[in-house]
Amino acid sequence: MATEPRFRLVALAAAALAVPAARAEPPARPAPAAGQRVVAYIHGNVPVTREEFADYLIARGGMDKVDLLVNKRVIEAEAARKGVTVTMHEVEAGMAEDLRGSNLDRATFAQFLKERYGKTVYEWEQDVVRSRLLLGKLARGRVQLTEDDLKAVFDERYGEKREAQVIVWPKGKGELTADVKDIATKNPAEFDKLAANQPNPDLARAGGRMMPVTRNLPGEDKRVVDALFGLKEGEARWIETKDADTAVRCLKIAPTPPDLTLDKVRAEVEKEAFDRALNGKAIPGLYEEVRDAARPTLTVHVPPRPDAAPKLAARVQHPDPRVLAVFADATPPVTREDLGEFLIARGGYEKLEFLVNDRIIKAEAGRRNVAVTPEELEAAKQGYAKKLGVTVDDVVKHLLPKQKMTAFMWEQDVLVPELLMTKLCQDGVKVDDADLQKAFDNKYGEKRQAKIIIWPKDQPRAALREWDEVRKGATPEERDANFDRVARRQLDTNLAAAAGRVAPIGKNLDAENPLIETVVFQLKVGEVSQLFETPAGIMCVKCDGVVPPAPGVTLGQVKAGLEKEVYDRKLAKAIPAHFAGLKKAAAPNLLLKGPPTPKELREGAEHIAEQGADRAGGLPPGVPKPKN
């Protein structure tokens, strides 16, 4: 079986350590230049700098975050100019409020953020909660509430509510005759039937029933709301709107509590009304004004993105390749250093080990004068695509995006390390006659058809009980049925779907669990093994049949193909073992452990404020003003 031409450095890092071959120690390198910060060391004294790590992240899709950083810079700079700050305690309180609003615990909320928005909790706190709080403080003075505003919120929260049943029949979905409408209006059973068969699937599933609503129902046609609140319980009415025929039926009326007045709940109503006005109009309006004044423009040093918003589609020339975005006001420009720090803080630190692994491999390749040519890289891409039955273009356009990988990342983080490690290991891989004979016996020799059941290691009692169950039965047919029934209940979905059946097992199985092979070849057809423990869990095997050797096939006929298969398989095992040896010798020391500490966040905010104050007089020297 050919080696899968894709492996990740993280997989190599997890391989079992092997004793490295004798090797010369790398020459001592000079300490990092003044001002450079170290995030890791390899071989004791070889530094990996923060700047190098930032470049690594930027090259791997980091430029896609420039737009977000620009928006954040606009807000932070305006807040610095106005002397507005947000403390860590305020951010934590804002996060707690979001958790209460979501009715989720922190762990579940974190999973929700990852799946829905692709964000970590840290990103949510810093890029959403913090920005929202800053804009809220900046925009507070814009909110002026009237008594009518308070009454509207009071009516919505505490006013009369009506439980309703609704039918929405869009124009063009089959006209409803006057008779059908009239019958549904007068006969509740007919109304129920029509509601359950209306075109809108969500309304149809609920039989048209809605949660109790108030008179202030956002986004709904006023004629429909007025009609509902003009009905008595049990009454129905049709309303013709521009796009649909709508019927409402009043099911229940819940009046406002007679002793509840606005004055009794004024404080909470004022807070809700204020928050609505602040978030609904004041904050978005202020942000648009601030952004229009700042007029951010990306420089030509940011590659164009086809999905970029029109405001960020333009590019401006700039002599400094480190500058990624400039502004028309005193907002400090966005630099590569800023972007690098932004990426490191937002989960980038988790990828430091990938960079360290890359450095370890390339250092060894350099020591042994091993390199990858462009032709070899192209051949590797073609080989990978051919194995999948697609073109390289298909891989880049369709497969890589699903894995959140760019073409650059595929080449530099997958193919190049694989090719280098292959060259570093290939001379040590040998295939002898014994290897070929074992491979021949496994592929063309006698096999056993088997079924397997696996139980979790922490469920020995359940395994023993069900193992006893699978062996019961007065006839082979009954025992087969019992085994299949239990096999279909096991946790492994693939095994359960096949009633435990696996591909025929040959001798000399090159697998992590050779015990399975030993056990199944000791069984007679129909027999079930004793329980035994494997890394996968507690297991039993049933011999379900004997597959005879392939007729007429000799080792000489298939030797060449087997030799390549055995070589590829041994090489695939040698690569992670060899890398583990290299990594053990390098003894990497990762100094960057997680997102910024509260102290680092405060220092960063102070740095932004200082930049804003220093540049209050205008754009810094050498930064061209973007064109309108």
Three-class HEC string of 299-341? ECCCCCCCCCCHHHCCEECCCCCCEEEECCCCCCCEEHHHHHH
Q: Say if CB 47 and CB 320 are below 8 A apart.
A: no
pTM: 0.68
Q: What is the DSSP letter of 264?
A: G
Distance CA 88, CA 84 (A): 14
468-492: pLDDT as tens digits: 999 999 999 999 999 999 999 999 9
Residue 345 falls inside a structural domain:
no
Short-list 312, 309, 274, 242, CA closest to 143? 274
306 alpha carbon, distance to own chain's centre? 22
Residue 389 falls inside a structural domain:
no
Distance CA 427, CA 425 (A): 6
Give CA separation, 621 vs 326, 327, 624, in Å. 12, 13, 8
Q: Say if CB 90 and CB 133 are below 8 A apart.
A: yes
Q: What is the DSSP letter of 461?
A: H
Distance CA 184, CA 193 (A): 9
Backbone angles phi, psi at 588, to 5 degrees: -60, 140
Strand 323-326, strand 297-299: pairing: antiparallel
Residue 327 falls inside a structural domain:
no
Residue 164 falls inside a structural domain:
yes
Distance CA 371, CA 423 (A): 9
pLDDT for 117 equals 86
- Residue 436: both structure tokens together: 């070929």
Domain-terminating residue out of 516, 547, 578: 547
Domain-terminating residue out of 255, 287, 303: 255
Domain-terminating residue out of 523, 547, 571: 547
Residue 14 falls inside a structural domain:
no
b/e per residue 417-452 (b: at least 16 CB within 10 A) = bbbbbbebbeeebebeeebbebbbbbbbbebbbbbb
Distance CA 235, CA 153 (A): 28
Three-class HEC string of 132-184? HHHHHHHHHHHCCCCHHHHHHHHHHHHCCEEEEEEEEEECCCCCCCHHHHHHH
Residue 594 burial (CB < 10 Å; 0-12/13-18/19+)? exposed
Residue 251 falls inside a structural domain:
yes
Distance CA 494, CA 481 (A): 19
Distance CA 527, CA 546 (A): 12
Residue 146 burial (CB < 10 Å; 0-12/13-18/19+)? exposed
Short-list 570, 552, 573, 572, CA closest to 562? 570
Phi-psi region of 588 (alpha: psi -120 to 50; beta: other; left: phi over 0): beta
Half-sphere exposure of 356 (CA within 13 A, CB side): 31
Q: What angle do CA 404, 407, 409 make, to 5 degrees?
A: 65
Domain enclosing residue 469, as ranges: 446-547
What's the domain count of the chain? 2
Q: Say if CB 167 and CB 198 are below 8 A apart.
A: yes
Q: Which residues, listed in sequence order, are joined to residue 215 by a DSSP beta bridge? A: none
Residue 195 falls inside a structural domain:
yes
Specify the 3-state DSSP secondary structure of 439: helix
CATH of the domain at 176: 3.10.50.40
Distance CA 394, CA 376 (A): 20
Query: What is the H or E stretch that residue 345 is in?
Result: helix 336-345
* Cβ neighbours of 564 (radius 10 Å): 12
Strand 315-316, strand 297-299: pairing: parallel
Name the H helices within 538-597. Answer: 555-586
Strands of 221-305 (E only): list them: 236-240, 244-254, 297-299
pLDDT for 241 equals 81
Specify the 3-state DSSP secondary structure of 445: coil
Half-sphere exposure of 43 (CA within 13 A, CB side): 17
Q: Which residues of the chain carry a pLDDT beneath 50?
A: 1-30, 605, 608-609, 611-628
Q: Say if CB 451 and CB 544 are below 8 A apart.
A: yes
Specify the 3-state DSSP secondary structure of 615: coil
pLDDT for 135 equals 94
Residue 348 falls inside a structural domain:
no
